[in-house]
Amino acid sequence: MKRLMKPLVILLLAAVVSGLAGISLAQETAKAASELSVRYEELTSRDFIQAVAKSGGTCVIPVGILEKHGPHLPLGTDLLDCRELSLRAAAKEYTIVFPQYYFGQIFEAKHQPGTIAYSVRLMLDVLQETCDELARNGIKKIILVNGHGGNEQFLQYFCQVQLAVRKDYAVYLYDPSDDTSVFDALKKMRKTSLDGHAGEEETSSMLAHRPDLVHMDRANDESGEDQNRLAGLKHAYTGIWWYASQPNHYRGYGAAGTKEMGETMFNLESGVLAEMIRSVKADTKTLELQKIFFEGSDKPLETKQKN
Ligand SMILES: [Zn+2]
C-alpha cells in the first residue's frame, strides 16, 4: 500500500506543481510578449520600429571571439560574458542588443584548437557593413562592447577610421577605464594577482551566469603562468608578445574564481555600462560635430586658417 501510495502522491503533487507552473508560465509568456525585448533577434518587424524609438536609435553590439580559454572555459567565453553584461545593462537602460557577433581579431590563437581567425579585410568589412545596415534601419548611435583583449586595438582603429567617409551615424566604444568602482570592488575580493585570460576574474564571471560551462576540475591541468619569453626586449612592441607570454592561452589561476566575485562584477559593471548608454542616448554633440567635420573635409581650402 505504501509503495502504491508514494507514486500516487508524487504524481498528484507533480500535477499540482506543473499546473501552477503552467499558469505562471503562461502569464510569464503573455508578459514577455507585451514587453519589448532588448534582444534584436526576438523583435518582430513592428516591434523593431518601437524598439528603435525606445532606445533613442541606439544598439549595442557585444563583440566576442572564438578562442581557447584555458583548459576549463568554453571557446565563446568572451562573447557569452559581454553579451550577458550588455543584456543586464539594457535591462537598466533600454537599448537593443545585437545577436552573437564573433568576428574579431584573434590571429595569436591560431595554434589552438577551435580558433576562428578571419582575415583583416573581412573583419573590418563585416563590422562596417553591420553598422551601415543598422544605420539604414534608423540606428544612428552604435555602441561596441568588447569582451576580448585581442580586439582592443582593432576596435579603437575601427572607431578612428569612421572619419574616412561621410556617414550619418556614430560609433561609440564602451571604455570604462575612467571608472575605478569595479576595479576597486574586485581588488578587495581578489585572491590572485596574475590574471587576464581564463583566470580568477573570467572564471568568476562564467560561474555567475553559465556555471554549467565551467570545468573547475580542469582549471589546474595547464599552466597560466607568464612565461616571459621576450624579457630581453626593451621599449618594443611586437605581435608575438602574447604567444611569448601565454602560449597555453591561459593567464592566471581559474581555480580561484568564485560565483560571488562574478556577480559583483556583473552588478557593478552593468551599472557603468547603463550609464554609458544613457549618456550616448543624450548625446547630440558627436553627430553634430561629425556633420561639420565631413562638410569641412569636402572643402578643406575653405576651412578658416585665422580667427
Ligand atoms: Zn576572454
Q: Give the model confidence (pLDDT) of 78-92 as tens digits.
A: 999 999 999 999 999
C-alpha cell at 206: 562564467
* 3-state DSSP assignment of residue 240: coil
DSSP 183-195: HHHHHHH---S--
Tell me the CA–centroid distance for residue 125 and ligand 1, in Å: 23
Higher pLDDT, 271 or 8: 271
- Give the model's pLDDT for residue 307: 80
* pTM metric for this prediction: 0.89
Mean predicted confidence (pLDDT) in 184-209:
96
Q: What is the pLDDT of residues 277-288, one digit of tens each?
A: 999 999 999 999
Provide the residue type at 37 as one letter: S
Ligand 1 centroid, distance to 224 Cα (angstroms): 13
Query: Residue 104 C-alpha to ligand 1 middle, in angstroms?
Result: 12
pLDDT band at 11 (very low <50, low <70, confident <90, very high): very low
The residues near 223 (Cβ < 8 Å, ≥ 6 apart) are 248, 250
Measured in angstroms, how far is the CA atom of residue 77 from the centroid of ligand 1? 6
Q: Measure the CA–CA gap between 207 and 213, rounded to whole angstroms.
A: 8
Rounded Cα distance between 58 and 281, Å, is 7
Separation of CA 50 and ligand 1 centre (Å): 34
Going by C-alpha positions, the residue among 78, 80, 81, 83 that lies closest to residue 65 is: 78
Residue 110 gets which letter from DSSP?
T
